[in-house]
Amino acid sequence: MRAIYGYRGDVATEFGLKLLPLTFVRPGELRLALWREFDLKGAEWRIPGERMKMRELHVVPLSTQAVALLTDLHAYSGDGVFVFPSIRSRDRPISDNTVNAALRRLGFGRDEMVAHGFRSMASTCLNEQGWHPDLIELQLAHSERDEVRGAYNRAQRMTDRRRMMQAWADYLDSLRTTPTPPLDFALSYTKP
């Protein structure tokens, strides 16, 4: 997190690097984000089904840190369609490889971190911190493996997911700002 916050380059890339760990959406979902999908006052990002792997609307609760980043980014790209416009043309989003190239520029090898790796990092850490696996899977927009359960269960558990995403953002902040973050930092939150 310290390296990401030290990145200096294109503004869209810098903000994409910061937002990806906070939301742990798929890199393609991030790069194709449109301003009209965001409700910053309601702290939600509504990704339409046509852009999702499972072809269903995915609502991403936004932490206060994510809203602050998006509010700052709006001054840069808010007059356009894409949240993360290409450096070459504001009519196109950043490329598929932009975030990975930025990670390489920061010194991370392909075996250390890739853009998609923020998803597995979040899943692993949140599971280790004791968050309910269903919340994590909902946030990752994974489909229900049990077909019968998936056919009947439409719960989104937004209140619990909002709490989890805020705790996650606070934990990431602690990694960035504390020389040695306490191991039990994230465990201090009341979980559902």
Cα 136 versus chain centre, distance: 12
User: How many other CB atoms sit within 10 Å of the CB of residue 124?
Assistant: 11
The predicted-structure confidence for 22-38, as pLDDT tens digits, reads as follows 999 999 999 999 999 99
pLDDT at 150: 40
- Which is it for strands 58-61 and 38-39: parallel, antiparallel or unpaired? unpaired
pLDDT of residue 153: 38
pTM > 0.75: yes or no: yes
Lookup: tokens for 7: 């990145």
DSSP letter for 33, please: -
Catalytic machinery residues? 26, 53, 116, 119, 142, 152
Instruction: Provide the 3-class DSSP secondary structure of residue 82.
Output: strand
Q: Which domain holds residue 134?
A: 2-188
- The CATH number for 160's domain is 1.10.443.10
Does residue 189 carry a pLDDT above 70? no
> What's the burial of 141, exposed, middle or buried (CB within 10 Å: 0-12/13-18/19+)?
buried
pLDDT digits (tens, 9 = 90+) for 85-100: 999 999 999 998 999 9
Residues in the chain, overall count: 192
Longest CA pairwise span in the chain (Å): 48
Residues with Cβ within 8 Å of residue 48, at least 6 apart in sequence: 37, 57
How many domains would you assign to the chain? 1
User: What's the pLDDT at 67?
Assistant: 98
Q: Give pLDDT tens digits for 35-51.
A: 999 999 999 999 998 88
44-47, strands of its sheet edge to edge = 38-39, 44-47, 58-61
- The Cα–Cα gap between 149 and 8 comes to 46
Give tens-digit pLDDT for 57-114.
Answer: 889 999 999 999 999 999 999 999 999 999 999 999 999 899 999 999 999 999 999 9
Report which of 10, 32, 21 is spatially closest to residue 113, judged by C-alpha positions: 21
